[in-house]
């Protein structure tokens, strides 16, 4: 049996491979950043990275079950009764995978060409958009699928929370990559300089000198980046993504908490506002009374 025939019969292995590639890609982006900054991260930030890393892993392990022949056989035995929507999901996933692979191949061919010192206005946008486009065009629609019946609102909020989490993670990954660019640019410029001084036999024994030069160069790159419209856009996207996710998560939490005798965020906010207004009024009246005395 040829490999192509295998692929036709077992598209599940391709999906699994696709999920692994996608999660490995973002996983290594997180790790790359956290490795660089880990010694300097406060505990809260470290936890955030660990959490972010766990999300793609979770997806990966979910999809990896599709690679186990037994479970896949069982799944595909009932293929003929699967609703059309599931088939479409798989189909879209396949289309997305192809698009993503194409993007990665193109990106790989551009490697080494994208980095120019102190220039951020011509950032290769495709570099960031590959996963975002696949997610937004092929997968997102399934999380926003119209829900029906008694539990429709609850299902909608679960879908929305997952959707916002994915969007947040996409924007965060883009932002992290953006923050990493000055490191890449300054390291490249520095290695070129070291190569040149070595060639000329002028390499200094004092590496502090080169470190000082690199840090200055890095600072300069960051200062240019931070004033660029790309950075400001990336910063706003990540803030917006985080806020949208928090908001969706809070709505979902309210749904859950209403089944328990626990006050929700909304209840607490209302209470806090009432206390705030009452206190303000009491203080005002106390001052008036003290003035009358």
Partner 1 sequence: MSEPKIPVDLIMKKLAEDSEEVFKTVQKASDVLLGPLDTAISTTPCDIVYEEDRIKVKHYKPKTGVKLKTPLLLVYALINRETMLDLQPGRSTIQNFLDEGVEVYMIDWGSPTRKDKYLTIDDHVNGYMDNVIDFIRERHNLPKINLMGICIGGTFSVMYAALHPEKIKNLVTTVTPTNFDTEQGLLHIWMKTINVDRMVDTMGNIPGDMMNLGFLILNPARLMIDKYVGFLKNISDKTFVENFLRMEKWIFDSPDFPGETFRQFINDLYEKNLLIQNKMELGGRGINLKKVTMPLLNFYGKYDHLVPPGACEQLTEAVGSKDAENVCLDTGHIGIYVSSKVQKEFAPRIARWLKERDNPEKGPSSRGKPAAKATATVEKPGSRTSSPKKEKKKISA
How many angstroms separate the first and last alpha carbons of the chain? 100
257 interacts with partner 1 by CB under 8 A: no
Give least dist CB 254 to partner 1, A.
14
235 interacts with partner 1 by CB under 8 A: yes
Site for partner 1 in 151-210 (CB under 8 A): 179, 182, 188, 191-192, 194-195, 198, 203, 205, 207
d(CA 36, CA 203): 26
238 interacts with partner 1 by CB under 8 A: no
- Burial of 116-134, coded b for 16+ CB within 10 Å and e otherwise, reads eeeebeebeeebbebbbbb
| Residue found under tokens 């958009």 | 129
Q: Is the dihedral of CA 208, 212, 218, 221 positive or negative?
A: negative
| Closer residue to partner 1 in complex, CB, 87/203 | 203
- 88: three-class secondary structure by DSSP: helix
Report the residue from 263, 275, 278, 285 that binds partner 1 according to the rule CB under 8 A: 275
The 8-class DSSP code of residue 146 comes to P
Q: Kindly report the CA angle at 81 between 79 and 83, in degrees rounded to 5? A: 95
Stretch that binds partner 1, among 15-23, 56-64, 252-260, 271-279 (CB under 8 A): 271-279
User: Which parts of this chain interact with partner 1 (CB under 8 A)?
Assistant: 37, 39-40, 42, 44-45, 112-113, 179, 182, 188, 191-192, 194-195, 198, 203, 205, 207, 211, 215, 218-219, 222, 226-227, 232, 235-236, 239-240, 243, 246-247, 250, 268-269, 272-273, 275-277, 279-280, 283
């Amino acid at each position: 049996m040829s490999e192509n025939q295998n692929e036709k019969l077992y598209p599940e292995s391709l999906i699994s491979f696709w999920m692994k590639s996608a999660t490995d890609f973002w996983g290594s982006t997180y790790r790359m950043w956290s490795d660089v900054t880990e010694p300097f991260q406060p505990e809260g930030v470290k936890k955030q990275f660990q959490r972010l890393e766990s999300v793609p892993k979770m997806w990966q392990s979910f999809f990896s079950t599709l690679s186990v022949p037994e479970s896949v056989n069982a799944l595909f035995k009932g293929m003929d009764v699967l609703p059309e929507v599931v088939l479409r999901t798989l189909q879209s996933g396949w289309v997305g995978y192809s698009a993503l692979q194409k993007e990665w191949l193109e990106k790989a061919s551009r490697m080494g060409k994208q980095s120019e010192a102190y220039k951020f206005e011509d950032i290769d946008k495709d570099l960031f958009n590959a996963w975002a486009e696949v997610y937004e065009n092929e997968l997102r629609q399934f999380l926003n699928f119209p829900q029906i019946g008694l539990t429709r609102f609850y299902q909608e909020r679960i879908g929305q929370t997952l959707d916002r989490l994915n969007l947040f993670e996409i924007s965060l990954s883009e932002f992290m990559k953006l923050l990493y660019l000055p490191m890449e640019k300054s390291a490249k410029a520095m290695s070129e300089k070291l190569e040149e001084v070595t060639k000329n036999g002028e390499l200094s024994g004092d590496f502090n000198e080169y470190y000082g030069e690199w840090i200055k160069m890095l600072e300069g790159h960051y200062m240019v980046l931070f004033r660029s419209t790309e950075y400001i856009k990336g910063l706003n996207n990540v803030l917006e993504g985080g806020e949208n996710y928090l908001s969706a998560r809070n709505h979902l939490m309210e749904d859950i908490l209403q089944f328990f005798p626990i006050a929700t965020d909304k209840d607490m906010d209302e209470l806090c506002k009432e206390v705030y207004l009452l206190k303000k009024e009491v203080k005002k009246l106390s001052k008036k009374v003290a003035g009358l005395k």
